Copies of this chain bind each other. A is one copy, B any other.
Amino acid sequence: MKTVVWQSLSEAQQNSVLERPAITEGANITAAVSSVITQVQTDGDAALKALTAKFDNVVLDDIRVSPDAIAEAADRLSDTMKDALQAAYNNISTFHQAQRPQPIRVETQPGVVCEQVTRPINAVGLYIPGGSAPLPSTVLMLGVPAKIAGCKRAILCSPPPIADEILYVAQLCGIEEVYQLGGAQAVAAMAYGTESIAKVDKIFGPGNAYVTEAKRQVSNDFRGAAIDMPAGPSEVLVIADSSADPDFIAADLLSQAEHGPDSQVVLVTPDFALADRVADAIQTQLQQLSRADIARQALGASILIVADSIEACVAISNRYGPEHLIVQTEDPRALLPELDNAGSIFLGLWSPESVGDYASGTNHVLPTYGYTRTYSSLGLADFSKRMTVQELSKDGLLAIAPVVETIADAEGLDAHKRAVTLRVEKLKELL
């Protein structure tokens, strides 16, 4: 890791330090994904089976996992594992239940009532990546809010073979439709439907470059499906002062770095000596990690920034806009009102990122890659939509009519004006 002294850098150098590496997916991924989507649209289930044989080396009899197979997964898990997943489930449920919106009702002027009501998105598709280790935590992060929001249908796709932990959490979340599908073909199946999989309205979840590109393509097609948020490599920024523990910081930076070679990890501190101690601790701890190679690659592009003051550290963090923001300072809560552009914030020595990744209750699906400027941490709101309602009394309409007529006139929209005038004339006849 490279250490830089912030104030010694020019504006351009500062920008370059905080710039994320470009994601260069290349035209070949775009074209490959487009071809997979077309195959699924054209050949449905047959395409799904052919693509799964080709990409996952698995010949599927049934695309769908049977209810029995889902139920049996629990029998193969240890009680320790089931208890842990249940404990995480409970906390995530508690926090997402607290996000239930209250309906809003306001009488903006006498006789003019405006309301905001919320409805669950009808059908949602949850994508869970495969790979070397299962990700039951991601099932929790998508399945729990889908259930609490009241989505009528939540389906799950994950490449075969699907781990017992994933099936178990699916069952906890009441997900009955589980499909052994990965990659762009899974996204295409959820977005457009096939003989055996009914189309969904919105697709959630992380994935590799093919999944990400497929989500982008189907979300750009009005016949496709909406998606949760744009994807990017995972990242953490730590703000720390001399009260922090360098071992803790090193452990937090490494737990981000082990995610993948493209993970970004950043430390910002006013304490040069702390930066040095963190760098040493990272080297020591690296040796004990099974994923040290991945972490080492990620650390190659990562930086320790020494700034003038804690205020300067906060400004750098707000400018970078990290997915995860860990604050290990004397009084971390005092900084919270100033913190902006972050996905999830971890306050104090005893709040490591991994707690939020799994079990504190917050969602681990977060905007990254600078999208924290405009996108939100995944929450109940993403599984529902807001509609507005208005209801006017006769008197309400009479009172507001001149306002509507005047503005409609200015906008040259006759019929808009007449829809009001006609009613006013009828009301005057009735009086």
Q: Which residues of A contact B (CB under 8 A)?
A: 23, 80-81, 83-85, 87-88, 90-91, 94-95, 98-99, 104, 106, 108-109, 112, 114, 116-117, 119, 121-122, 132-137, 165, 201-202, 216, 220, 222, 225-226, 230, 232, 245, 247-248, 251-252, 254-255, 257-259, 285, 288-291, 295, 332-333, 336, 339-363, 367, 369-377, 379, 381, 385-394, 396-397, 400, 402-404, 406-408, 410-420, 422-423, 426
Partner of A222, one of B114, B369, B410: B369
Q: Are B135 and A80 in contact (CB under 8 A)?
A: no
Please indicate the chain B residues that have their CB under 8 angstroms from the CB of A216 in the complex.
220
Please indicate the chain B residues that have their CB under 8 angstroms from the CB of A356 in the complex.
388, 390
Partner of A354, one of B257, B285, B363, B417: B417
Q: Are B390 and A347 in contact (CB under 8 A)?
A: yes
Please indicate the chain B residues that have their CB under 8 angstroms from the CB of A408 in the complex.
354, 357-358
Q: Are B132 and A412 in contact (CB under 8 A)?
A: yes
Most chain-B Cβ atoms within 10 A of its Cβ — which of A254, A259, A414? A414
Complexed CA–CA distance, A348 and B109 (Å): 17
Complexed CA–CA distance, A358 and B388 (Å): 14
Partner of A374, one of B83, B133, B385, B391: B385
Q: Are A99 and B116 in contact (CB under 8 A)?
A: yes
Q: Are A386 and B394 in contact (CB under 8 A)?
A: no
Partner of A407, one of B290, B359, B391, B411: B359
Complexed CA–CA distance, A252 and B417 (Å): 10
Partner of A350, one of B255, B361, B362, B423: B423
**With contact pairs A385-B376, A389-B347, A407-B136 given, residues A360 and B413 touching in the complex (Cβ less than 8 Å):** no
Please indicate the chain B residues that have their CB under 8 angstroms from the CB of A375 in the complex.
226, 385
**With contact pairs A108-B91, A116-B99, A385-B375 given, residues A426 and B245 touching in the complex (Cβ less than 8 Å):** yes
Q: Are A363 and B388 in contact (CB under 8 A)?
A: yes
Q: Are B390 and A360 in contact (CB under 8 A)?
A: yes
Partner of A381, one of B225, B258, B381: B381
Complexed CA–CA distance, A225 and B360 (Å): 32
Complexed CA–CA distance, A18 and B87 (Å): 46
Q: Are B406 and A84 in contact (CB under 8 A)?
A: yes
Complexed CA–CA distance, A390 and B374 (Å): 21
Q: Are A386 and B381 in contact (CB under 8 A)?
A: yes
Q: Are B226 and A108 in contact (CB under 8 A)?
A: no
Partner of A391, one of B121, B135, B347: B347
Q: Are A400 and B255 in contact (CB under 8 A)?
A: no
**With contact pairs A122-B373, A136-B411, A413-B133 given, residues A418 and B285 touching in the complex (Cβ less than 8 Å):** yes
Complexed CA–CA distance, A149 and B330 (Å): 31
Please indicate the chain B residues that have their CB under 8 angstroms from the CB of A108 in the complex.
90-91, 94-95, 360-361
28 interchain pairs, CB-CB under 8 A = A85-B407, A87-B403, A90-B108, A95-B104, A98-B104, A98-B106, A112-B361, A114-B361, A122-B340, A132-B412, A136-B407, A222-B370, A225-B374, A247-B426, A248-B419, A254-B415, A258-B415, A259-B413, A344-B389, A345-B389, A347-B389, A351-B397, A352-B419, A352-B423, A356-B390, A359-B407, A373-B385, A377-B387
